[in-house]
Amino acid sequence: MDRLSVNDARKPDTIGKQVRLSGWIRTRRDSKGGFSFLELNDGSSLGNIQVIADGSLANYENEIKHLSAGSSVTVEGEVKASGGQGQATEIHAASVVVHGLADPEKYPLQKKRHTMEKLREWAHLRPRTNTFGAVMRVRNRICRSIHEFFQGEGFLWIHTPIITASDCEGAGEMFRVSTLDPDKPPRTPAGGVDHAKDFFGRAAYLTVSGQLEGEIYATALGKIYTFGPTFRAENSNTSRHLAEFWMVEPEVAFYELTDNMDLAERFLKRIVSDVLADCGEDMEFFQERIDNTTLARLEKVTAGEFHRVTYTEAIELLTTSGQKFEFPVQWGSDLQAEHERWLTEQHFGAPVILYNYPAAIKPFYMKVNDDCEPGRQTVRAMDVLTPGVGEIIGGSQREDRLDVLEARMRDQDLNLDDYWWYRELREFGTVPHAGFGLGLERMVQFVTGMANIRDVIPFPRTPGNAEF
């Protein structure tokens, strides 16, 4: 007897096989003919499989007729062709073992639509819903694609630290890691907290990015990528922000900005193509139930080349568009989501790569352009913008000239001694290099059409919320 997943048992080539399936009951319907129809799901697919449990089974009256949504069972029986609409197979049960009942008076996931907000309160149960099962299967496929893409291109996966003393973004929005007593911390003679007595002998934080450490390995091994959790202590309650999220960050030695753009475009096309090829049933669900523009939006990624536009050109397009924006558009200001979406959805109708941003709004490590207009210093930064989401990738060519790097750090009031090792990379065999970051959750949002980023991660961490 074969142990199969529900997904496999739904395929016509299993007809005639004796199988064992385990999962959770979605619905039970009793027939006047003395048997019951059970809808079984095990998370392997969006669709359920129908199990026919005959009244002659030994536990039919005492257990099977009491099964309700959420109850767990193991079914053994034969796969047969189904006459039901929309299903190729069904199981005729020889036995149904009940592992656990779910009290229908208490089990919250009843056969009705629940709001996303309510489902967040039941994060331990929401994976059993169609929506969150589909989200997690697509998320899993995206993660597979990330590794397959970079491994196929000869990258090494490098595990950069989660605990760090460096602030990559220079914004200071970092979670502190400490073993000091917060009520009675040791003090320096000047009255400040004495971090020398802390666990690491200095102030330490949860990482906001693995980029700086990734540069170390890129300038030794050539092509690397990081993929892991990152953290931002930003007090932002929006549909686009999390305090804990996952990032993939490739870094490549001897790459310039155009190489970086090419890599990002190939990367996004690969992810989208894999999802469309392997997650058809789930993607149809998102198209029908979540966002009816989902598939059309993804086809724009795979269909043609991304438009490449300088920041300055984008500002000109926005200021001459005649469109009224909530946030004013002017050279030197960062673009807002409404500006990004106008460019991708209304003007170009396709993904866009913006590049050469004003230096004043970008971090210290981005390479300064030599051909800047007076009063308009720019850096070789790039953002990939997609319809429906806006920015999905941010990256740059890195500044490889020590004198320029140090000048930029001073401009941003950074302590050069804190970055002694980063500066030494420019002293010992410096090379042009570039990389970017893709937030996994933003990518899952883009692919699925889910409106809130809290609904594309298993357990969202946001201001005031660390439940589960």
pLDDT of residue 315: 97
Compute the Cα dihedral for 433, 439, 443, 449 and give only its sign.
Answer: negative
Mean pLDDT, the chain, rounded, equals 95
Predicted confidence (pLDDT) per residue in 270-286, tens digit: 999 999 999 999 999 99
pLDDT of residue 361: 95
Q: Quick one: average pLDDT of 243-248?
A: 97
Of 223-227, 249-253, 322-326, the least confident? 322-326
What one-character DSSP code corresponds to residue 33?
Answer: T
Cα within 13 Å of Cα(161), Cβ side:
13
Of 103-112, 311-320, 428-437, the least confident? 103-112
**β 307-310/176-177 pair status:** unpaired
Does pLDDT of 170 surpass 90?
Answer: no
> How far apart are the C-alpha atoms of 451 and 454, rounded to whole Å?
9
148: amino acid identity, one letter: E
Q: Token pair 């007076």 is at which residue?
A: 374
pTM: 0.95
Does pLDDT of 132 surpass 70?
Answer: yes
Per-position b or e across 316-350, b if 16+ CB within 10 A of its CB = ebbeeeeeeeeeebeeeeebeeebbbbbbbebbeb
Q: Quick one: average pLDDT of 37-42?
A: 98
The alpha carbon of 376 is separated from its chain's Cα centroid by a whole number of angstroms, namely 34
